[in-house]
Amino acid sequence: MQVFSSDNHRRHDAVELSRGKLQVSVESPRRVDIIRRSLSEAGHDVAAPGELDIALVRQIHAAEYVEFLSGIWARWQAQFGDDTPAMPFAWPSRHAAPERPKDVVGQLGYHSFAADCSIGEGTWDAATAAAAAAQSAADHVATTGEATYALSRPPGHHATHDQFGGYCFLNNSAIAAQRLLNHGRSRVAVVDIDYHHGNGTQDIFYRRSDVLTVSVHADPMSEFPWFAGYDHERGAAAGEGWNLNIPLSLGADYSAWSAAIDKAAARVADSNAEALVIAFGADTFVDDPLGTFSIETQNYVETGEKLASLTLPTVIVQEGGYAVQSIGENVAALLEGFR
Ligand code: OKP
Ligand code: ZN
């Protein structure tokens, strides 16, 4: 399979606020090193992505958010004069449409929803490289029809129209879906099988019917991102009926998870979608430090086979997965299902 991966991911090496401590983020550069090694060993062809079309990013994200992300590090450094990472710590009240402050720290709160992300000198370059991999994978799918994998890092599915959070800055899967539409597909389905709900992708396409969003994930009543991912969220306005959430109890096993994937696949089969984006997080794996599901490596092969049997042109975009010692074989297993 054609794989797109940029070395620029390495320029983002973050800290996260976790249980009261600032720690090195589990969303580490090593994740990509290990996936790349496994995929090369399995005979996949890894190429660097082309240059990101920033107009494509603006189809998905607010212009003021793109401007904020690209400039925030320089502004933070100018204001504080050192190399501490930029992080938010205050967010708007739920009750009013918030002002957008002028201040750097105010804007960090306005444009985020979680404190598990830090922004450093290379964050923008890494986030745009991740989006470029998704864009190039979509281009390759549109021209060849062959399933293609974007090894995007940092991940993207939590990034909303104008907020970062959950280790995500630009929504790579949404960017891939939009690119496929730009290539002339009239409807695209995004199936998100990361352990966590794809709240950002849901947010971006919530009022649209040209992109069906489906997510299988841990029940947000008990798991991040807490405030979205419920089964009553079904889309709005023109998008009514075009969002499907399938939350599962903590500790779900392969039989529960695979039944949910079947349901997701049935919705896609029913949607007239002309292309598919799989937002793939390997954090459903039994040993994942963030997850509670008990999916095993071999199960990802069968999952890939199921999704491949939809016979749609398919972009697979990397999302989470933090059991780094196994992440390479888990990604290789999912791709194996597409052979
Ligand atoms: C990103 B993706 C635990 C903090 C958890 C939120 C999880 C983000 C998951 N120390 N932070 O969906 O894999
Ligand atoms: Zn996840």
Per-residue pLDDT tens digits for 161-192: 999 999 999 999 999 999 999 999 999 999 99
Please give the average per-residue pLDDT across 274-278, as a whole number. Answer: 99
Atom of ligand 1 nearest to the CA of 322: 13
* Residue 54 structure tokens: 């920033």
User: Does the beta carbon of 49 lie inside 6 Å of ligand 1?
Assistant: no
> Which residue out of 12, 61, 111, 158 is catalytically annotated?
158
AA letter at 227: F
Atom of ligand 1 nearest to the CA of 320: 13
Residue 44 a catalytic site member: no
Residue nearest to atom 3 of ligand 1 (CA): 18
Helix (H) or strand (E) segment spanning residue 175: helix 172-182
Express each pLDDT in 203-219 by its tens digit. Answer: 999 999 999 999 999 99
Express each pLDDT in 20-55 by its tens digit. Answer: 999 999 999 999 999 999 999 999 999 999 999 999
How many Å is the maximal CA-CA distance in the chain? 55
Residue 325, φ and ψ in degrees, nearest 5: -65, -20
User: Does the beta carbon of 200 lie inside 6 Å of ligand 1?
Assistant: no
pTM exceeds cut of 0.95: yes
* Residue 19 structure tokens: 């249980």
**Residue 129 CA: distances (Å) to CA of 7, 19, 118, 151:** 8, 30, 17, 10
Atom of ligand 1 nearest to the CA of 198: 12
pLDDT above 90 (res 96): no
N-term to C-term CA, the chain? 8
Please give the average per-residue pLDDT across 138-153, as a whole number. Answer: 98
